[in-house]
Amino acid sequence: MTQSDLLRLCATDAVPDDAPLKVELPGHAPFAVYHIEGNYYVTDDTCTHGAASLSEDGELNGFQIECTWHFGIFDVRTGEVVARPCTEPLKIWPVTVQDGAVYISLD
Ligand code: FES
């Protein structure tokens, strides 16, 4: 993994503890960044069931993000569907924290 494979999303202190932070960067689908129990997680921001933004229309409970459009739930650690109507997992991104910022590794 080289430094150029890492994409900087935001400062660590920009991410609240109780809600995801939406990060939009040119050329990428929006990301949702979470700070839960001292660790950072990043998923795609768009629900896999519809076009809802999980950071804007989601409710974070522990490690689970609930989409308030139709109440589908995902685990932000794995992207797995916890509750339907969602059937497709949420894409998760490998996180690196360094120098006070949250980075992801691109595929
Ligand atoms: S758009 Fe998220 S559950 Fe339907």
- Determine whether the shortest distance from the Cβ of 65 to ligand 1 is under 6 A: no
Q: Is the pLDDT of residue 107 over 80?
A: no
Retrieve residue 10's tokens: 């935001």
pTM of the model: 0.94
Give pLDDT tens digits for 46-67. 999 999 999 999 999 999 999 9
- Determine whether the shortest distance from the Cβ of 16 to ligand 1 is under 6 A: no
- Determine whether the shortest distance from the Cβ of 72 to ligand 1 is under 6 A: yes
Rounded distance from Cα 44 to ligand 1 centre (Å): 13
Rounded distance from Cα 75 to ligand 1 centre (Å): 14
CATH code: domain of residue 29:
2.102.10.10
pLDDT of residue 18: 86
Average pLDDT over residues 55-80: 98
Q: Which domain holds residue 40?
A: 3-105
Q: Which amino acid is at 60?
A: L
* Count of domains observed in the chain: 1
Calpha distance 4→72 (Å, rounded): 35
Cβ 59 vs Cβ 65: under 8 Å: yes
